[in-house]
Structure 1
């Protein structure tokens, strides 16, 4: 679009937006909004808090989407007027303002276009993210904590609420593991491409000989479970441990054994929660996390079985997926999509949308090829 005049650029963006509007089917969404508003106004709905929450969350999501698309369409219409004003008055400041708005709209429409690809069965869900330090000793623990900060900063940039359920701190520095939820519509569909092993190469700040160190951390992303999800869990197959919550360096943050760790013995899946002061609340949250991980495990097993029946190799997105190099050069590169950045500082500060958008497109192309 670089060689086009502003009118042609606006025309192209308008065409892209029209395609997005068609895929989103705004008329159908508006009809559903009216139906959901009627449901939410019914006092009897609130006799079932789970169903009420589902209805209100769906309503808020639809209203947000319709409002956002309408706002972008209005901004695009206003942009033509702004360019005409800049031309008629030969005003450089107004022209610069119009060019800036054009760039902003291009990004917003591109984000909407990617959203239309999030049509998987769980893509609308909130996301439960777990990070574990892997090979690399204290550097790996530090790396796991850096990744936690990266995702929390990403969520903060977008205004997405987060809640850290559990963090297990390493002895010297960093963390052994952490689990947190991103409470936003489509958080799972947006972040599921981040699942896999993240590799860091740098001069170790923990090595007095300043040697280069390679360390690894694993990121697991699963959809948050809802009441409609059914996962049978045999209580006899669980080991439940209670312990005292602690902070960095073993500093006590609670005076009672309220933290809960649940181990699912058949699969070895472990979940824990220490963010509540009540042992009952922590146990409920840990059980919900376990259900989410078992649901995702079941989904992946079913997918693997289908691939095997088709005679195809089993897809695995859980391998090494991104390299972060801080020495001897500066680079972050996704090994699947090829997307690369020479500014790891910005990436580690949460500016990962370019990588996420490319992952979504890549996953959809992979899924389409497998059908």
Structure 2
């Protein structure tokens, strides 16, 4: 095994830190923090709760970035001192401790670097995710539920607030579809790289002959709309149906017409919501999701027009983006980035940060290449 190069490791970590600090613009962050603190302390801030929550969320994100930058700088100085001490005294235990700390710092810097790459228009927002079972019958419905659990466990591991807003259960097992919301800074920037078709290959637990089954599930990710987005949906363009909620729930959920289905007539988009007890709350939540999808649709149409003018610069994300193989071998592989692991159970338990980070880097490279080609037109 090659000897650990402490000097090179510290040099690489400092270089990455400087690159991150430059990209995040520390002076800008400090100025933004001061401005947001002034807004947060203004009298009457909570007269407009939606605006107040936005200010507090932005302030929290800004403070978090500054705290991480300050902590990384301090840790780099401390570990450099620790290395110097260990080398002077030829103390193997101290040097081992320093190596462990450097590796931890590098991992944290990688996480921070990812935030600098999430520069899309909506990347900083909360995310609304919908999972739908595809081809594969009951196995596909079960796979959709496995994905739902995977994402909820991922959110839990990272301390993100997640709320299931609607679930449509399949008859035999699993789910037909589910919609959930993740509230965290850059939730959309992270989750958007999960959008696409996911494929599962395994011995079907629902086949009494034990045959191998391939099933599919689709993941759709949209940013949560904000008041400034101006997505107007006239009443004449929607049809609202109410019905009794299905699935697990108390008497008040299953015996009242609290569930809401909104159909957007011009596009055919359908949104259902049944998580809340109140029909009014479900309608409001469904409208928010509908507006989010219309926002993405508008954004895609604008991007399509640009592509028509500039030519087809890059292929779209494509249908199949990740495969989960449980038989005849164990492997999860992202078909866009090449990121893979044989730890399939860990992935289904929510350990997907490596895939998300690889997806964000891949997307950033795609954007840079597309921008360069567009500039050369």
TM bucket (normalised to shorter chain) is over 0.9
| Counterpart-to-counterpart distance in 2, 1:233 and 1:32 | 34
| Counterpart-to-counterpart distance in 2, 1:94 and 1:253 | 60
| Counterpart-to-counterpart distance in 1, 2:315 and 2:5 | 44
Compute the displacement of 1:212 (Å): 0.3
Q: TM-score, structure 1 length as denominator?
A: 0.95
Question: In the alignment, which residue of structure 2 is the partner of 1:8?
Answer: 8
Q: CA RMSD in A?
A: 1.9
Question: In the alignment, which residue of structure 2 is the partner of 1:34?
Answer: 34
Question: In the alignment, which residue of structure 2 is the partner of 1:120?
Answer: 120
| Counterpart-to-counterpart distance in 1, 2:337 and 2:86 | 40
Compute the displacement of 1:131 (Å): 0.3
Structure 2: unaligned runs, 5 residues or longer: 372-377
Structure 1: unaligned runs, 5 residues or longer: none
Compute the displacement of 1:18 (Å): 0.7
Question: In the alignment, which residue of structure 1 is the partner of 2:81?
Answer: 81
Question: In the alignment, which residue of structure 2 is the partner of 1:234?
Answer: 234
Give the stretch that moved more between structures: 182-191 or 253-262. 253-262
Given that 2:260 and 2:282 are in contact with CA atoms closer than 8 Å, whether structure 1 keeps it comes out as yes
Give the stretch that moved more between structures: 95-104 or 61-70. 95-104
Correspondence 1:146-225 to 2 at 5 A: 146-225=146-225
Given that 2:141 and 2:173 are in contact with CA atoms closer than 8 Å, whether structure 1 keeps it comes out as yes
Compute the displacement of 1:332 (Å): 0.9
CA gap of 1:49–1:250, structure 2 versus 1, over 3 A, is closer
SS in 1 for 2:44: helix
Q: TM-score, structure 2 length as denominator?
A: 0.94
Given that 2:194 and 2:219 are in contact with CA atoms closer than 8 Å, whether structure 1 keeps it comes out as yes
Question: In the alignment, which residue of structure 2 is the partner of 1:108?
Answer: 108
Question: In the alignment, which residue of structure 1 is the partner of 2:287?
Answer: 287
| Counterpart-to-counterpart distance in 2, 1:331 and 1:253 | 41
| Length, aligned pairs only | 370
Give per-residue Cα distances to partners, 1:43-66, cap 9 Å, x unaligned. 133332222222111111101111
Correspondence 1:305-344 to 2 at 5 A: 305-312=305-312, 315-344=315-344
Compute the displacement of 1:222 (Å): 0.6
Given that 2:253 and 2:277 are in contact with CA atoms closer than 8 Å, whether structure 1 keeps it comes out as no
Question: In the alignment, which residue of structure 1 is the partner of 2:57?
Answer: 57
Given that 1:246 and 1:252 are in contact with CA atoms closer than 8 Å, whether structure 2 keeps it comes out as no
SS in 2 for 1:208: coil
Give the stretch that moved more between structures: 337-346 or 154-163. 337-346
